[in-house]
Structure 1
Amino acid sequence: MDLNSFIDHTLLKANTTSGDIKKLCEEAINHDFYAVCVNSCNTAIAKQYLKDSSVKLAVTIGFPLGAVSKTSKIEETRQAILDGADELDMVINIGFLKDAKQAEVEEEIALIKKAAGSKLLKVIIETCYLSEEEIRIACKLALKAGADFVKTSTGFGSRGASTEDIRIMKEVVGDKMKIKASGGIRDAKTALEYIDLGVDRIGTSSGIKIVTDNP
């Protein structure tokens, strides 16, 4: 299987420099990855480095906690699109979800999707902090709000993706939404396991190792 086309080559560390972004984009182009994923402050520079390539630019919104205001997330989305984002990876307000503020969570996703327009919206639900029922609720809210993907993790929580997370998410969204697994995916065997479960995209900082190891 060609794993390259599943990979969002990711760099979201706080100490990321412009040189790091340049290297990330060059690697993505050289290995024909689907996209790079960066923090929103690096959108414009990443777009410049990806110029004339087929690699998409995914940008995080409300990252990594999801706890900023709805207005901030919407404005961050708009600016990211102005700066050249092709896709948005937003973090839900996890505290609101756990407080059963389902209407607020759904509204925020819907407003960000509206701001995103034709751009793909991935909704990060941070499964490590959620019960099975909360994972199901989060997926249903993302689906109702019109998002394109539901995504497991930021990679900054207490753990990354798990096969059980994917099983639960797939049961809820079926073929109505796509799924992105991220967090802790560092080898081809693990990536293939997630893809076999129905994952459409893999978020990882280990993309080169994954495609190099893939037989």
Structure 2
Amino acid sequence: MIDHSLLRPELTRPEVLAGLATAREYATASVCVRPADVALAVAGLRGSGVAVGTVVGFPHGGATTATKERETAELVALGAAEIDMVIDVGRLRDGDVAYVEEQVAAVVVAADGRPVKVILENWYLSDEQKVAGCAASERAGAAYVKTSTGFAGGGATAADIALMRRSVSPSMGVKAAGGVRTLDALLTLRDLGATRFGATTTAAMLDDLARRLASRDG
């Protein structure tokens, strides 16, 4: 359920490679890397079963639809298997839901069958806007709605996960990202309906899980 996140702007190539090794060791669902690291991640994770994801319009979402389409197509060509796109947050706050839906739909087409996770950046949104963003994303064919980039003022909250889960159909995923740093936090959000998690503390959380399972079985 974890997308191991390698998105910090200061990461060096050795640090990215170390992150890829962590994802391989712990058999995460995916890594989520910066666009410039997609080729490196594809090569580094070949044969591991760990998918390579990346971001589009990140972190602010203000690029044009054509730019997001081109970015998506390029990253797919490089081997990206999942796309996390940031919506135009200002347009959603304006009430221009049609624009948001059309942009998500364009990225879904450019992703050519690969899952698209739509980052709403909830920190800036009212509950009404979050619900509208969820509905637009589902109508546009996205696979997931996602709480945040991790670069705004706040990340995933229990209230937001519960709201997003109620706002989409059971077939759509909900991704919690930003501030999910402990196993207990992850489990709480899972129980509220999150189905995927963006995390940087992957090893610590899964080591904690292993200790708990060993103690229970012992």
Q: TM-score, normalised by structure 1?
A: 0.96
Alpha-carbon shift at residue 69 of structure 1 (Å): 1.4
- Corresponding position of 2:100: 105
Amino acid in the other structure paired with 1:55:
V
How many Å separate the matches in 2 of 1:36 and 1:22? Answer: 11
Alpha-carbon shift at residue 25 of structure 1 (Å): 0.8
Amino acid in the other structure paired with 1:183:
G
Deviations 1:145-197 (A, max 9, x none): 01000000100010000000011101111303110000000000000011111
Match for residue 204 of structure 2 among 181, 188, 209: 209
- Corresponding position of 2:145: 150
Amino acid in the other structure paired with 1:8:
D
Note if 1:189 corresponds to 2:184.
yes
How many Å separate the matches in 1 of 2:9 and 2:119? Answer: 19
How many Å separate the matches in 1 of 2:4 and 2:34? Answer: 12
Alpha-carbon shift at residue 28 of structure 1 (Å): 0.5
Note if 1:24 corresponds to 2:19.
yes
Deviations 1:120-165 (A, max 9, x none): 1000001111000000000000011010000001000100000000
- Corresponding position of 1:45: 40
Amino acid in the other structure paired with 1:17:
T
How many Å separate the matches in 1 of 2:95 and 2:182? Answer: 36
Question: After the TM superposition, which of the residue ranges 183-192 and 7-16 deviates more from structure 2?
Answer: 7-16
Deviations 1:32-85 (A, max 9, x none): 111100111111111110111100011100000001111111111001101110
| Mapping for residues 83-162 of structure 1, pairs under 5 Å | 83-162=78-157
Amino acid in the other structure paired with 2:180:
I
- Corresponding position of 2:7: 12
Amino acid in the other structure paired with 2:20:
C
Q: TM-score, normalised by structure 2?
A: 0.95
- Corresponding position of 2:215: none
Structure (1 or 2) with the larger CA radius of gyration: 2
How many Å separate the matches in 2 of 1:22 and 1:198? Answer: 32
- Corresponding position of 1:3: none
How many Å separate the matches in 2 of 1:102 and 1:176? Answer: 22
Amino acid in the other structure paired with 2:16:
I
Amino acid in the other structure paired with 1:123:
V
Match for residue 169 of structure 1 among 164, 167, 176: 164
Note if 1:82 corresponds to 2:77.
yes
- Corresponding position of 2:52: 57
Match for residue 69 of structure 1 among 64, 82, 86: 64
How many Å separate the matches in 2 of 1:106 and 1:198? Answer: 23
Determine helix, strand or coil for the equivalent of 1:123. Answer: strand
- Corresponding position of 2:173: 178
Give every structure 1 segment of 4 or more consecutive aligned residues whose post-TM-superposition deviation is greater than 2 Å: none
